[in-house]
Every structure is written in C-alpha cells, then in structure tokens.
A and B are shown apart, each in its own frame.
Chain A
Amino acid sequence: MTGDMSAATARLDALRDRFLDTLEYRLLDIEQAASAYRTAPNATRLQEMSEPIHKLAGVAASFGYPELGDLARSIDVRLTTGMSSDVTPGWNSRTLSQVEHLMDHIEQVLDSDCPIDLRDVGLSKG
C-alpha cells in the first residue's frame, strides 16, 4: 500500500513538473494574446486572451498553486463577463492590468520553481 502510494505520489510529482514546463508556454500564450488585445481590442481577441487563462484557472490549483489558480479564475470570470456585454476603455485597461499581474505571478512561480543550481548562478527559466 505504501509502495502504491509512493508510486502515485511520484507520478503526481512528474505531472507537476510537466505542468511547470508548460507554464512557460502558457505565459507566452497569455502575453501574445494580451498584446494583441491591447493593440486592437475586439471580441475575437478577448476570446483568444481568455482561452489560455481559462485553462490555467482549471489546472493551477490542482497542481499545488491555489493562488495562481484563484487569480486566473477571477480574471477568467471577468473576461467571460466582458464577452457577453459591451466593454469600456476603462474596463479594458483594468482587465489588462490584472492580466499583467497574472503574468507577474506566473513568472514568480517559474522563478521559485527553478532548479536550485540555476538559481545559485543567478539564472532563471525564461
């Protein structure tokens, strides 16, 4: 039983590592979509920005990052609301600022989960 549990834990750890590997790409996706939306805010670009954030909201907490999950979730809810109503420039600006905050948080997670040897030499992922 203990062996089964440790095997299961090891598999979950491996999944968590994979999640961290994908986090970098998720960050890039959000960054690109946010940049596109900033340049020309429209419904299609809002939808494109919401997709990677929605996915992140679904998985981050399950992999041990509840704060990141909550933050992504609150932005996801905001974007869903924005998609079903007319948005103002003020709304756009506040939303993009929250998305920036989310990206900062992702970077913090990536930095803190860097292998120790990289951090020792002052390097970080990404």
Chain B
Amino acid sequence: MKILIVDDDPIFLDLIEQTLQSLGYTDLYRALSAYEALAAARTAVTPFDCFLLDIQMPKMNGIQLCAALREDDRYAYAPILMVTAMTEKHFVDEAFQSGASDYVTKPIETIEIKARMGMVEKLLSERLQTGTLQTQLFETEAAFGRHVAFDEPFILPEVPWVLPLSSLENYVLRLGNMRMFTSVAIGIHVKNARALFAATPDVEFIDQMSEIAVIISEMLPKAPSFLAYAGSGDFCAVIPRLTAIDPHFASMTINEKIAQVTKHRFSKQNRPQVRVGRPQSNGLFSFKDPSSVLDRAIYDARQLRTETKLSARRYQDYDW
C-alpha cells in the first residue's frame, strides 16, 4: 500500500513512519506541508492508496488539503485518515465534510493505528469492487455487464458530498455518545427500492439513488449535516438535534420533489416513494456502540420493530 504521510513536525513523521513500518507498511512517503503533499499526489505516476494528514499546518491546513485531494479523480475514493491533536467537534465535522474517511487523535498508539489501517485495507478492497469501478460503470456496464447488489452501500459517484457509509460510521464512532448527543440520526427509506432495482439496469438504479440523495440533502439543515447511502434503498442522515425535522412533513416534501423531478420518467405507481424515520439518538451516558444509532434510524424508517444490531448489508434479510 502506497501511503503519503503529511505533518509539519519532522519528528512526528519519523514516529508514524516507524509505527507503520513496524506494522509491515513499507511503501511510505512523507511531506512537511500541504502544498508539498498536493504536488506529490498530483505528480505521482502510481497514485497513492492512502493518506495520513495532520490538520494544523501553516498556510494550507489538513482539512483544506483533504478537500483538494478529493477534487482529484484519482483520490476521490482513497482512504484519508486525519491524524491530529485537534479533538474539538467542529474539527471532526469539518474533516468529514471535506471527505475524510477517518479521524485519529494524537497521541498515536500502535494498536490504534493497526486497527485503523486494518479498516483502510478493508475499505480499499471494497472500493476496488465498488467505488473506483463505479466511475467506469456508466461507460462499461453494457460491455462488461457489471452488476451492483441491491444491498450494496455503493458510493454515489455524482454526489461526492454524500459520505460513504463507512465514513459516516467512523464519524459517529469518533464523536462517541457524549458528543453525538447534540446530533440525531434519521433514516430515509425508499419504499419501492427493490421494485426499482428489479425494473431498471444497475446504472440507472445508481442514478436514481443519486437523484434522491440530492433531493434529501436539499431538505436537510445546513452544515453540519451528513448523509450516506446504506444500500437497499436506505439513506442515513446525521443532523444537529436542535434542527430535527418532522418525519411526516419531510416525507411529504421529498416525495413531492421526487414527483416533480421524475414525472416524465415514472408513472404515479412506479415513481420512487420515500419514508422518513423519526430522529434517533443514544443516551448521553449510553454504553451502546455509538454507530448503533444509524442502524436504529434505518430500522425506524423501515418501520421495523426488531432492534437487533445488524450490519447494513443484512437489512435486506427483513421482508418489509
């Protein structure tokens, strides 16, 4: 794995390089500033697979660098880990909004870096199957007959600001229940997603979900709000608690907008129909896994009674 580490403190670069080497990562590159990193990333013949970025750096900070990297097609889906001493929520919010995949706070510990890099490897292998290939999907689907699975939480290539589900999970995990208390999760379920999936080529289904994502986001409060596609026609949003929306009104608004946008393509019976769930949150001092709130939000949008912890991929097991 080709990794670029960016930090303006040379001794921290040495430390993290040493840590990564001890974990078996040897293809390591380093940059002492965001500008140096950007130049290295843009001119690399073989693109980097992963980035580790400090936040507080002079002139251009790590969050700005992250956003700049995401604008480059080669790094649109590359795992970007923020490694920083900044623990305040607004830095975490800004980092994920700029496209960070995960957020690690200093001081670093080998065991934590090992766990996060394990996630990076998993992400990379998933992205090879979904994300990166997805950008080619529109041109190559006819030729190669590529398929996406109905329950796949694929990346929506046309709406880059929609986070991958894994990033939204990481965001919620990094905040923890205490800091997540100021936010709520809301599930948005496309009720006839399975019928849409069955009736249309995969590329069109991705397009439909992208279109719905745009409409949902227009209804969400302004930053800091986050939206991810979870597969099976499910979306999950994390929004500030104080701006929590009314599920019935939100469902109506989104459905009306979908009707307007798709009136020439779908009959009334076949057009996408969404249901917005009630806002969900964990208790302030809850011992629950913080990311379980995302599962519950999707369950609620689906009007499922069971609250067993399941991964997004298994939502389809329920016949709704």
- Residues on A lying within 8 angstroms of B by beta carbon are 8, 11-12, 15, 18-19, 22, 51, 54-55, 57-63, 66, 69, 73, 76-77, 80
Given A8-B22, A15-B18, CB of A59 within 8 Å of CB of B12? yes
Are A61 and B107 within 8 A (Cβ)? yes
Q: Please report the C-alpha to C-alpha distance between residue A27 and residue B276 in the assembled complex, in whole angstroms.
A: 55
Are A18 and B11 within 8 A (Cβ)? yes
Are A59 and B88 within 8 A (Cβ)? no
Given A51-B58, A73-B85, A80-B88, CB of A62 within 8 Å of CB of B9? no
Q: How many B residues have CB within 8 A of the partner chain?
A: 21
- Residues on B lying within 8 angstroms of A by beta carbon are 7-9, 11-12, 14-15, 18, 22, 54, 56, 58, 84-88, 106-109
Are A15 and B107 within 8 A (Cβ)? no
Residue of B nearest to A54 (CB): B56
Residues of B within 8 A of A8 (CB): 18, 22
Are B107 and A59 within 8 A (Cβ)? yes
**A29 smallest CB distance to B (angstroms):** 12
Q: Please report the C-alpha to C-alpha distance between residue A58 and residue B62 in the assembled complex, in whole angstroms.
A: 14
Q: Please report the C-alpha to C-alpha distance between residue A60 and residue B85 in the assembled complex, in whole angstroms.
A: 11
Give the contacting residue for A15; candidates B15, B106, B108; CB below 8 A: B15
**B105 smallest CB distance to A (angstroms):** 9
**A92 smallest CB distance to B (angstroms):** 22
- Interface residues of chain B: helix, strand, loop or mixed (majority): loop
Are B107 and A62 within 8 A (Cβ)? yes
Are B54 and A58 within 8 A (Cβ)? yes
**A102 smallest CB distance to B (angstroms):** 14
**B270 smallest CB distance to A (angstroms):** 51
Given A57-B85, A76-B85, CB of A62 within 8 Å of CB of B15? yes
Give the contacting residue for A58; candidates B9, B22, B58, B109; CB below 8 A: B9
**A13 smallest CB distance to B (angstroms):** 11
Are B107 and A69 within 8 A (Cβ)? yes
Are B22 and A59 within 8 A (Cβ)? no
Residues of A within 8 A of B14 (CB): 15, 18
Residue of B nearest to A21 (CB): B11
Are A19 and B85 within 8 A (Cβ)? no
**B116 smallest CB distance to A (angstroms):** 15
Given A18-B11, A55-B9, A77-B88, CB of A62 within 8 Å of CB of B18? no
Residues of A within 8 A of B84 (CB): 58
**A47 smallest CB distance to B (angstroms):** 9
Q: Please report the C-alpha to C-alpha distance between residue A85 and residue B43 in the assembled complex, in whole angstroms.
A: 40
Residues of A within 8 A of B109 (CB): 62
Q: Please report the C-alpha to C-alpha distance between residue A18 and residue B17 in the assembled complex, in whole angstroms.
A: 15
Residue of B nearest to A69 (CB): B107
Given A15-B11, A18-B11, A63-B15, CB of A58 within 8 Å of CB of B88? no
Are A58 and B12 within 8 A (Cβ)? yes
Residues of A within 8 A of B106 (CB): 57-59, 61-62
